[in-house]
Amino acid sequence: MPGEIHLQELTKRFADVVAVDGIDIDMPAGEFFTLLGPSGCGKTTTLRMIAGFERPTSGQIVLDGVDVAQVPPHRRNVNTVFQSYALFPHLDVAANVAFGLKYQRCTKEERRKRVAEALGLVQLSGFERRKPTQLSGGQQQRVALARALVLRPHVLLLDEPLGALDARLRKNLQVELKALQAELGITFVFVTHDQEEALTMSDRVAVMNGGRVEQAGSPREVYEQPETVFVADFLGVSNLLSGEATAGDDGACVLRMGERALRAAQGATASRGQVKAMIRPERISVEPHGTAGDNRVPGLVERAVFLGNAFELHVRIVGGDILKTMVANDGSATDLEEGAAVTLHLPAEAVRVLAPSEPAAAEEPATAS
């Protein structure tokens, strides 16, 4: 199946700034691949290099076995949906969608058929004669999609295509985009800074930071098994713990934090010395004050944030650090007000020892973030 991309040692320098720093990524054909990261992490530059708008400083972009790094954009079999859609304002919807067909050998009749098909695919039949300015944001986004898909590319590049839409429309389009990708079976390369979007839509996510790939894997892998502090911190909410790793049993290690010790059974448990470990708020359970057992720490509720379906508790544990935890609003949590004494259970199999991030992940919060 066509649509396979390998980025090899891909680097882009702008004057003194290294935007993309020798990344290697494999994007399997037919998958929904997401480049996720904060602004300035190099994800958009990477996408623009795949599209051909930026020329790599060095490295290869292998598309279906051919290095296209030096091929101009109009000769690449990839198409882009731009963040601002970039619909041609002087052309109507049909002419926008038909724009690229001029460069594919097809008859007038076929051209008309394909435009109609593409507009049908994005549910915009009947809008042929409208001008882009007469469409809503969501409709413009669909036209941009149709304009790219009508050319039957092997790879579709999407640069934060949902960024300009309101929350509800965004949710709907997330589902539609994912369904469309599954239906067409072509490779989607999606750029976003929204971790929720990345987790819900992707087959595979590459988390980028400072021009490098921190971690790539399925959404579950990067969320549940973050390898670096940056990934743990960027995806979802996590509690970060600092401590000294010492040997434990059963392949686990023991994390010493002052007089307290926690067993950690996940991640880089072979590390020794000062390390960071993380645990997700939803994996911490809140128990009545004084409950005994392993991996339990006492603390005081400092803040209880009502979220509707749950409470987010900020618990200050002995030693001063704050851990965030979630308690479902199931009617039992009546006494979890500020100042209440509780015991937190941090199961060993939910405590994950992290490899240190590249220096680019500059500020590492000492505790919860």
Partner 1 sequence: MTRWFRNPWGKPRWLVVVTALYIVWSILPVGIAILFAFNNGRSRTTWQGFSLRWFTGSTGSVLHDPALQGALKHTLFLGVLCVLVATPLGVALALGLQRWRGRGSGTVNTMMLLPLVTPEIVMGVALLLLFLNVFPGLGLGTKAQAIGQVTFTLSYVVVIVRGRLVSIGREYEEAAADLGAPPHDQLLRVLLPLLAPAIIASAAVVFALSIDDFVVTQYLSSDASTTTVPMLLYATARGAPTPALNAIATVTLLITLATLALAFFVYRRFAGGGQAAVAAALEV
CB of 187 to partner 1, least distance (A): 16
Q: Mark residue 86 as left, alpha or beta (left: phi above 0; alpha: psi -120 to 50; beta: remaining).
A: left
CA-CA distance, 369 to 367, in Å (whole number)? Answer: 6
CA-CA distance, 201 to 179, in Å (whole number)? Answer: 9
Residue 212 pairs in a beta bridge with: 209
User: Which residues lie near partner 1 (CB under 8 A)?
Assistant: 51-53, 72-75, 78-80, 82, 84, 86-90, 99-100, 102-104, 147-148, 151
CB of 143 to partner 1, least distance (A): 12
CB of 72 to partner 1, least distance (A): 7
By C-beta, is 104 or 134 nearer to partner 1?
Answer: 104
Residue 286 pairs in a beta bridge with: 344
CB of 223 to partner 1, least distance (A): 32
CB of 65 to partner 1, least distance (A): 21
By C-beta, is 98 or 199 nearer to partner 1?
Answer: 98
CB of 96 to partner 1, least distance (A): 9
By C-beta, is 50 or 222 nearer to partner 1?
Answer: 50
By C-beta, is 73 or 138 nearer to partner 1?
Answer: 73
By C-beta, is 80 or 139 nearer to partner 1?
Answer: 80
What's the Cα-to-Cα distance from 60 to each of 159, 178, 181, 289, rounded to whole Å?
21, 28, 26, 58
Please, which residues have CB within 8 angstroms of residue 344's CB and are 6 or more apart in sequence? 284, 285, 286, 287, 296, 297, 298, 299, 315, 317, 323, 325
DSSP, collapsed to helix, strand or coil, labels residue 297 as strand
CA-CA distance, 359 to 364, in Å (whole number)? Answer: 10
By C-beta, is 15 or 167 nearer to partner 1?
Answer: 15
CA-CA distance, 106 to 196, in Å (whole number)? Answer: 41
